[in-house]
């Protein structure tokens, strides 16, 4: 069976998926046609039901959960790993501030709205363009994700607030950033098979961390090796291997907060 599989070119995803893509593990007869896209593009593709299996923001999953069900391996959750709001001065965000966000359906945008419910003057940008937009005064501030949390200070920008810390102080739960979901059109047997294969790929990556370096570096663009490693260590953790009770609680909380039923949103282990 061949499935389309969407994930981002960011180091955390290429690190996790390398063994699966390059047949370094038993894929139980599954073949994957890989689609590499920015996370907001993947969010939009999920809303269009384009892919069989896909990475998506948990905020987007709120809108796509009738068509997709969440795998319990492959997620990005954790502590001290949330999006940051940055500006040139580090001053507080005003209701009239213009703020760049990395996409309407990103969890970053959801967390921003949670912290600044009255700031509605946002503009969508590809996440990698936000730092420069702030630097060139195209916007007053920006919500940054991925490797930009390791580079903004080098460009003379300042943190206004860590949205992850805000979430943790409000909920006492890990920050649910993104996950891997599979179409509900597949049988439970296929869903669980994909879940097993993905978990196996992540476990292989942890056991053989150098094995994925060629694949990770191929898509890391101009990212330094140090930043690439920091990116992986921050976003790939025990919740990536398996959500566990705390991971599931964080996602259920997000659903409940948005008044959406959290019934039958996880593939059973």
Question: Which residues are marked as active site?
Answer: 146
Q: Residue 171, exposed/middle/buried by CB under 10 A (0-12, 13-18, 19+)?
A: middle
| Count of other CB atoms within 10 angstroms of residue 158 | 15
Of residues 243, 248, 246, the one with CA closest to residue 264 = 248
Q: How many Å apart are CA 232 and CA 234, to the nearest integer? A: 5
Q: How many Å apart are CA 68 and CA 75, to the nearest integer? A: 14
Listed as own residue / partner, the contacts of 120-126 with beta carbons closer than 8 Å and 24 or more positions apart are: 120/95, 121/96, 121/97, 122/98, 123/98, 123/99, 124/40, 124/100, 125/100, 125/101, 126/38, 126/40, 126/102
**Token reading at 10:** 């960011």
Of residues 115, 75, 66, the one with CA closest to residue 95 = 115
Q: How far apart are the first and last CA of the chain?
A: 21
**Token reading at 229:** 């490693």
């Amino acid at each position: 069976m061949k499935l389309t599989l969407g994930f981002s070119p960011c180091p955390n995803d290429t690190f996790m998926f390398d063994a699966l893509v390059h047949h370094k593990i038993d894929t139980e007869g599954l073949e994957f046609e890989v689609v590499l896209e920015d996370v907001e593009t993947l969010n939009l593709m999920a809303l269009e039901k384009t892919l069989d299996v896909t990475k998506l923001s948990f905020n987007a999953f709120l809108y796509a959960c009738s068509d997709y069900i969440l795998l319990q391996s492959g997620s990005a959750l954790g502590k001290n790993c949330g999006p940051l709001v940055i500006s040139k001065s580090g001053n507080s965000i005003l209701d009239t501030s213009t703020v760049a966000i990395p996409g309407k359906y990103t969890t970053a945008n959801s967390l921003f709205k949670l912290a600044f419910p009255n700031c509605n003057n946002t503009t969508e940008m590809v996440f990698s363009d936000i730092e420069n937009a702030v630097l060139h005064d195209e916007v007053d501030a920006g919500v940054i994700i991925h490797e930009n949390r390791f580079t903004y200070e080098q460009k003379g920008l300042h943190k206004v607030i860590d949205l992850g810390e805000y979430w943790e102080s409000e909920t006492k739960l890990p920050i649910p950033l993104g996950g891997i979901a599979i179409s509900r059109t597949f049988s439970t047997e296929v869903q669980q098979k994909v879940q097993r294969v993905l978990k196996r790929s992540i476990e292989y990556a942890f056991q053989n961390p150098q094995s994925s370096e060629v694949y990770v570096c191929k898509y890391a663009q101009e990212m330094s090796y140090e930043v690439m490693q920091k990116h992986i260590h921050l976003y790939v953790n025990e919740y990536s291997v398996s959500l566990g009770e705390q991971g599931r609680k964080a996602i259920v909380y997000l659903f409940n907060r948005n008044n959406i039923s959290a019934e039958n949103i996880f593939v059973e282990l």
